[in-house]
Structure 1
């Protein structure tokens, strides 16, 4: 494939403008964004005018049928992902889709089957894997420095940064709150660092503690309390097939000093925390602390993930974020919500 990759964007919101398009696709050589689609015609045209995108659509079904288009980048509310991904794959396009790929395991399995049938790449945009700190920590972990990882602590918690748009707080659009919005990032990164052990059972709790009231002021402004229908806090405890466990917390609003966004892996040789790279071990009865330095030469994480996606298309490589891995992530998050609803631990089937 010698020509420039022709890319279509579905969604013209903030994540597209601030990450996927710039510094994303615009920083990738031999790629050209040729189409954008949004249900808001003003937003779509405004983005097209700003970045000289020649084709504008208001229906994703029309965009995916566009001749010459190689790939589609989907950045829309969570509950809209599945029909858009399926339509793009059916039309013979490679697909990168913002996290979470879907809100249920059933939908991810549908997408997996469609990608296999179309023989096209399907990639979840889990950009946290691609940053300079993540890449350095992963390389260190893969040397075996941690030994057997027996537990992980994963946090994606905020004090008062609740996203206010309907795409986040209306369950008909989002399918969930901070668990699916930011918890998915920290969980995916932790699982990736651990080598993706298979989750077998999970218990969880999802609560709306503050979002219906006015006690905590929102750093991003006010939101519609009547529309708000998702959790503002979730926690989970996961058991894996190799005996390891994981504790997960995600929140948009709670009483804490500042945002807490990290994952700590506890191993029998050492521990390490992402994204700081701080590690702790003991050698010859001496306690040792250290810091893994960022990997040099790494571009911004969103640029790196898009570079990896484009490279996979051009060189017939596997998806940089395989659907099988996303399946485990969504199984855990869905399991947390199910466990909270039935008030007991739930099993996670083996998906093969």
Structure 2
């Protein structure tokens, strides 16, 4: 495998997580950082010993001639940077959500398609080590036919006058929990359990200084007959803030049930048995090694020419579920997806 040279665009909170991951990815090297803030870009570059720093993406592309760009900025800038990369024929790894609206998201994906430039959406949740292991457990057949999945999302970081200290702009988002966070689980549920056909959603805003919703309950109907619940609240008290798994999950089947703990440990109970822990080697790194795994997948697919798991058009389906949830909450009706 050749070494693919990339530019990271953005120097905020998540850029540091991605830079940590790039240091572990085989066949990739970040050689430039672009940010609207030269000072923050230089700070990031100094920490990771990146040689090229600037505020203008076109100048950086012309100087570095990268093999890919990694867009790690808020959604409202994604289309701008993606168009520039696509115009230069450069493959794109783009942070989620794709854009502030589904219409703009479709425009971004279509623009790249028209330019014949591959775009992968950086949706790393499905790459968390525990979900990959749960997928293997499911495929082994040990739980039999699957009936129901429940996830309680409880980061515990949305209370008080200064919520979301790592990403304070969250409090100003008109659409928040489902748009920014819930999509992680909608995409992961699709990875684990397949197509989602219908959703019924209720939302609330508990913290008065937050513009968007900070609590939601969503019921899913899957094409395979399963049902699911995503039960999310970012305000309620938690002893561990932003735990590894952000909450806990139960998965029920005909032969037994599985439980995912806050820290990423997996437990299962077979019919007429007792609960026991499923031992597995949890990848190191941020949230079960998901940033490294996602970015490695991007590089591996670039090298092999295979399709990304979360290529642009595929990921638009996960986002479609988000907007169906908002429509359901507004109309108080179940909404068909797709």
| TM-score, normalised by the number of residues in structure 1 | 0.80
The CA deviation at 1:11 is: 0.7
Contact 1:90 1:114 in 2 (8 A): no
Distance 2:256 2:199 in 1: 26
Q: Counterpart in 1 of 2:249? A: 263
Root-mean-square deviation (CA), in Å? Answer: 2.7
Superposed CA deviations along residues 260-281 of structure 1, whole A, max 9, x for unmatched, are 5133322233332334321222
Matched, 1:343 2:329: no
Distance 1:91 1:121 in 2: 12
Matched, 1:247 2:229: yes
The CA deviation at 1:335 is: 1.5
Higher relative contact order (CA 8 A, sep 6+): 1
- State the SS of the aligned residue for 1:254: coil
- State the SS of the aligned residue for 1:147: coil
**Mapping for residues 104-119 of structure 1, pairs under 5 Å:** 104-119=101-116
Superposed CA deviations along residues 93-149 of structure 1, whole A, max 9, x for unmatched, are 222222333454434433433343344432222323333323222212122333332
Match of 1:28 among 25, 29, 32: 25
**Mapping for residues 87-106 of structure 1, pairs under 5 Å:** 87-106=84-103
Q: Counterpart in 2 of 1:303? A: 292
1:297/1:167 CA distance change after superposition, 3 Å: closer
Matched, 1:272 2:225: no
**Mapping for residues 79-90 of structure 1, pairs under 5 Å:** 79-90=76-87
Contact 1:152 1:246 in 2 (8 A): yes
1:60/1:137 CA distance change after superposition, 3 Å: same
Superposed CA deviations along residues 284-322 of structure 1, whole A, max 9, x for unmatched, are xx3343332224666632122212211111121211434
Matched, 1:70 2:59: no
Distance 2:333 2:60 in 1: 44
Q: Counterpart in 1 of 2:176? A: 177
Contact 1:133 1:295 in 2 (8 A): no
Contact 1:64 1:93 in 2 (8 A): no
Matched, 1:321 2:310: yes
Distance 2:198 2:118 in 1: 29
- State the SS of the aligned residue for 2:269: strand
- State the SS of the aligned residue for 1:279: strand
- State the SS of the aligned residue for 2:164: coil
Distance 1:82 1:108 in 2: 8
1:266/1:89 CA distance change after superposition, 3 Å: farther
Distance 2:202 2:232 in 1: 11
Distance 2:282 2:200 in 1: 39
The CA deviation at 1:10 is: 1.0
5+ residue gaps, structure 2: none
Distance 1:263 1:84 in 2: 36
1:272/1:334 CA distance change after superposition, 3 Å: same
Contact 1:169 1:230 in 2 (8 A): yes
Q: Counterpart in 1 of 2:205? A: 208
Contact 1:154 1:187 in 2 (8 A): no
Contact 2:31 2:64 in 1 (8 A): no
Distance 1:291 1:120 in 2: 44
Distance 1:263 1:188 in 2: 15
Distance 1:234 1:271 in 2: 25
Distance 1:304 1:341 in 2: 37
| TM-score, normalised by the number of residues in structure 2 | 0.83
Q: Counterpart in 1 of 2:277? A: 291
